[in-house]
Structure 1
Amino acid sequence: MEFGMRFRRADAFERKGARSWHDIECAPLDEVRRVQEAKLVRQMEWLSRRSAFYQRKFAQAGVAFEDIRRIEDLQKLPFTLKTEIRESLSAERPFGTHLAADLSAIAQMQASSGTTGSPSYVALTESDAEMWHEMSSRCFFAGGIRPGDIVLHAFSMAKGFVGGVPIVQGLQYMGAIDVPIGADGGADRLLRAAADLRPRCVLGAPNFVAYLAEKAPELIGMKARDLGVERVIVGGEPGGGIPAIRHRIEELWGAKCCELLGGTDIGMAYWSECDEQSGMHMVALDHVIVELLDTETGAIIPFETGVRGELIYTAIGRQASPLVRFRSGDHVEVLGTSCACGRTGPKIRCVGRTDDMLIVRGANVFPSAIQSIVTEMAPLTNGVMRVLADFEGHTTQSPLTVYVERGPAQQPADDAALKEKVETRLRNALAFKANVIIVDADTFEKPGVAKVALTLRQKPKFLS
């Protein structure tokens, strides 16, 4: 399709009954590959003329742009790291030396959440912005949103976060109606809008949408499951792929819950679950080439069921802030390579991020994996936990301190037994030794606008 900025895709309502938002999602992979490689060649030609950042990077690697014609050729190139992007942004304001379009062509900008350092500021031309809308629409459609749906927007709308304006734009592009209150508007305003407008769908971070449902009886005098919501789509933090948390969300809302995944440097979202709920499909292979890196060996490995690795992205068809072999930091497990829905992109679940990973006596531990186990132990726990990483860097030789909230019906007299149960489960499942400290239910702050931080770098004063 031709790209050119517009409010809604012209044929949005014609897609309502389709099996996928775009036919490429269900296309044979050899056909997808032909599209990818044609666009890859054009992307290299664009970079050779427009990107000082990649001109230097290719020269240092001794690789010519015209040498990159097939997907396997990308392995001749070094990775692009987040630290390089931050250095690029610092070296040349406002959008870095990796900006590959004239400033006059920039139609929009976005920023990452900045939870692991300075935010990334990403420039978009009109073509880039519509590409984002297209990728987002595919994710929303896979998760069950349809043109004409009213969607309650429960991600944060503030700070340039991609869960804000880009979601509004993506929903408008596909013909859905966004209720743009956002987590910033507070639980009361969101739930009041839900009671008044009866949205079919809710979009938000998993911990916050669960909290929102829990507050419904208090704030609007009715259960969330009686509001008529049919779909809850979550992302932005761990939880949607954790069975116990997903089940809790579905029980609270009386709706099917699907997960999506993206990243500001590439797009709002480009992985999404379908009705099968068996992992997030890559739905944008015509806009993004994705590789899977075995972080132990440094080798690129095929997407095969059961393998794990880190996602590496190369944008194709991108003008303003293109990235080549970008290390996302997202560690995933491949859950499948085919699906009853007909989509042909691989299916994954995210097991954690490089930035979050802790190494405890040589064992790699993701806080989200701890959260999964603690949540599974409900009602002995209420699923809320925090890891105390009060040491330099990400490595410790000592047992890892984990605070776990007891379940609301549990008695403090039983804490010693619960502590032993949690420590045993963590040791058996994740191969590390924990020092579990049981605390009261509701000890930690309830989910809100910001992502839930599972790791604490210093002991909270209220626990002293």
Structure 2
Amino acid sequence: MAVRPHSAEHWSAVESLSTAQTAELQNRALVDQLAYVNSNSEFYRRKFAEAGVDPTTVRTAADLAELPFTEKQELRDSLEARRPLGLHQAAPDADIVQIQASSGTTGSPSYVGLTRSDIALWSELGARALYANGFRPGDRMLHGLGMSKGFVGGIPVLQIAQYMGIVDIPIGAEAGVDRLLRVQADQRPELLIGTPNFLAFLGEQAPATIGTAADALGVRAISVGGEPGGGLPATRQKLEELWGATSREMLGGTDLGCMYWGECEAQDGMHHHCPDLIAVELIDPDTGAVKAPVEGAEGELVYTALGRQASPLVRFRTRDHVVVTGTSCPCGRTGYKVRCVGRTDDMLIVRGINLFPSAVKQLVSEFEPVATGEMRIRADFDGHSTQKPLQLVVEYTDGVDETAQQKLAADIETRVRSALNVKAIVNLVPELTLKRPDHVKVNLIERV
């Protein structure tokens, strides 16, 4: 039987608890989780012993700083040491009912096990995020995230929808633009979920593919995630104008859950609305020091799973770099809000200036319709640091003459220097030169 929301505003009562109530709830869950992990995970027993720490002394979320971080490479090593789910597996094989996989862009995929309880927990996390995004029980949803390869955007999103009482139409991004648009035209689902760049491309192709503009296809609410950019003003505006629908962001990942941050109707950041299921820390990515999540604070997100059985993680470094956009909200949710600006390991340092690709993408998008909005940073250097000007490849729109192209390139270079304090060299290319998004995330950096 589908779960129903406790109110018209929020999926769970937890989302509107006071700071004191939230802390009490989280601290109880944290003590229980650390005891479970220490008893059942060989990986963490070794890790805590080597660090000389006793997890049973951790009584509050503030005490987590006494424990070591968990790095992604440690999980890869753990998986290599013991297949199929690594030394950090903490539930018996007989209790594992599902295994999800990461994209594996740096080697073999990471694998995450789920018990029935874990699936229910993931579904609760996702329900809170999607409800904030405007998704409601009884709606129908076109599934535009990747359905293949064990990605969390596939089956787990289907499970979240079913848990919420939403009818999922699991076509998947791999089916391609034509199939997705024809299903949308036939079925007219009110909801659409996918990566922001792919859904924008999908909307642009509607008139030529099915003879109907996307805003006439019945979509009411769009949820975007899987890559940074859904919160960029230009990207949001494009999506909302194309589809005639609201567009809000969500954020998650393979290791902790499918999605566990969600943007409400205020559209100024994604709420932390699962303190009972995930303990979140904001850290300085260089020093590892914990930072207070006050408005304007920037840093990397670190997670400790609460209530997880099969593949629990403690102080896992995500490398997701965020900015805290607020600590209160008219919607009544009390969890602070963030905007993800990129991954810490995607950040470039151009002549001493820290630069996220999403910031450049936003500036280039401002030049539509003379430019298409598609761009890539061509990294002609090793690592993440360079003393050279930033090489940008930018598409101009069909019909733009040579004089206008020259002006476009000069204007973008001026805008980047003014806004980001970085010298850029713009190389213009014709429309549709750059690969368009599909079920694979868009990588704004091309290595040459």
Fold match by TM threshold 0.5: yes
Instruction: Give the C-alpha shift of residue 379 in structure 1.
Output: 2.3
**Where in structure 2 are the equivalents of 1:25-40 lying within 5 Å?**
25-40=15-30
Partners in 1 of 2:77 and 2:386 — Cα distance? 29
CA displacement, residues 163-217 of structure 1 (integer Å, 9 cap, x when unaligned):
1000000000000000000111111111111111111110011111111111111
Could you say which residue in structure 2 is the equivalent of 1:164?
154
Among residues 12, 35, 47, which one is paired with 1:22 in the alignment?
12
Partners in 2 of 1:48 and 1:437 — Cα distance? 55
CA contact (8 A) 1:291 1:311 kept: yes
Whether 1:175 and 2:165 are equivalent positions in the alignment is yes
Whether 1:43 and 2:28 are equivalent positions in the alignment is no
Could you say which residue in structure 2 is the equivalent of 1:326?
316
Partners in 2 of 1:420 and 1:215 — Cα distance? 29
CA displacement, residues 96-127 of structure 1 (integer Å, 9 cap, x when unaligned):
11111111110111111223443211011111
Partners in 1 of 2:268 and 2:391 — Cα distance? 32
CA contact (8 A) 2:223 2:248 kept: yes
CA contact (8 A) 1:112 1:119 kept: yes
CA contact (8 A) 2:137 2:164 kept: yes
CA contact (8 A) 1:116 1:355 kept: no
**Where in structure 2 are the equivalents of 1:55-454 lying within 5 Å?**
55-454=45-444
SS of residue in 1 equivalent to 2:331: coil
CA contact (8 A) 1:16 1:147 kept: no
Partners in 2 of 1:293 and 1:265 — Cα distance? 18
Task: Give the direction of change, closer, same or farther, for the CA distance of 1:117–1:430 in structure 2 (3 Å limit).
Answer: farther
SS of residue in 1 equivalent to 2:280: strand
Instruction: Give the C-alpha shift of residue 132 in structure 1.
Output: 0.2
CA contact (8 A) 1:101 1:319 kept: yes
SS of residue in 1 equivalent to 2:122: helix
Gaps spanning 5+ residues in structure 1: where? 1-7, 459-464
Moved over 4 A (4+): none
Partners in 2 of 1:418 and 1:185 — Cα distance? 35
CA contact (8 A) 2:229 2:341 kept: no
Amino acid at match of 2:54: A
Normalized against structure 1, the TM-score is what?
A: 0.94
Instruction: Give the C-alpha shift of residue 389 in structure 1.
Output: 1.4
CA contact (8 A) 1:206 1:234 kept: yes
Partners in 1 of 2:211 and 2:6 — Cα distance? 34
CA contact (8 A) 1:151 1:176 kept: yes
Could you say which residue in structure 2 is the equivalent of 1:462?
none
SS of residue in 2 equivalent to 1:355: helix
Partners in 1 of 2:357 and 2:346 — Cα distance? 7
Percentage of matched positions with identical amino acids: 52
CA contact (8 A) 1:88 1:97 kept: yes
**Greater mean alpha carbon deviation, residues 371-380 or residues 154-163:** 371-380
Amino acid at match of 2:446: L
Instruction: Give the C-alpha shift of residue 409 in structure 1.
Output: 4.3
Partners in 1 of 2:101 and 2:345 — Cα distance? 18
CA contact (8 A) 1:16 1:146 kept: no
Instruction: Give the C-alpha shift of residue 137 in structure 1.
Output: 0.8
SS of residue in 2 equivalent to 1:240: coil
CA displacement, residues 50-93 of structure 1 (integer Å, 9 cap, x when unaligned):
11111111112111121111111110112111111111111111
**Where in structure 2 are the equivalents of 1:447-462 lying within 5 Å?**
447-458=437-448
SS of residue in 2 equivalent to 1:374: helix
Task: Give the direction of change, closer, same or farther, for the CA distance of 1:219–1:107 in structure 2 (3 Å limit).
Answer: same
SS of residue in 2 equivalent to 1:319: coil
Partners in 2 of 1:259 and 1:169 — Cα distance? 19
Instruction: Give the C-alpha shift of residue 410 in structure 1.
Output: 2.3
SS of residue in 1 equivalent to 2:231: coil
Instruction: Give the C-alpha shift of residue 297 in structure 1.
Output: 4.4
- Aligned-residue Cα RMSD (Å) equals 1.3
Partners in 1 of 2:433 and 2:154 — Cα distance? 29
Amino acid at match of 1:451: K
Amino acid at match of 1:187: V
Amino acid at match of 1:385: M
Could you say which residue in structure 2 is the equivalent of 1:461?
none
Partners in 1 of 2:348 and 2:269 — Cα distance? 25
Partners in 1 of 2:314 and 2:141 — Cα distance? 34
Instruction: Give the C-alpha shift of residue 313 in structure 1.
Output: 0.5
Partners in 1 of 2:7 and 2:252 — Cα distance? 25
Partners in 1 of 2:306 and 2:218 — Cα distance? 40
Amino acid at match of 1:161: F
Amino acid at match of 1:361: R
Instruction: Give the C-alpha shift of residue 444 in structure 1.
Output: 0.7
Partners in 1 of 2:316 and 2:200 — Cα distance? 33
CA contact (8 A) 1:41 1:66 kept: yes
Amino acid at match of 1:305: E
Partners in 1 of 2:240 and 2:188 — Cα distance? 17
CA contact (8 A) 2:6 2:13 kept: no
Partners in 2 of 1:75 and 1:285 — Cα distance? 17
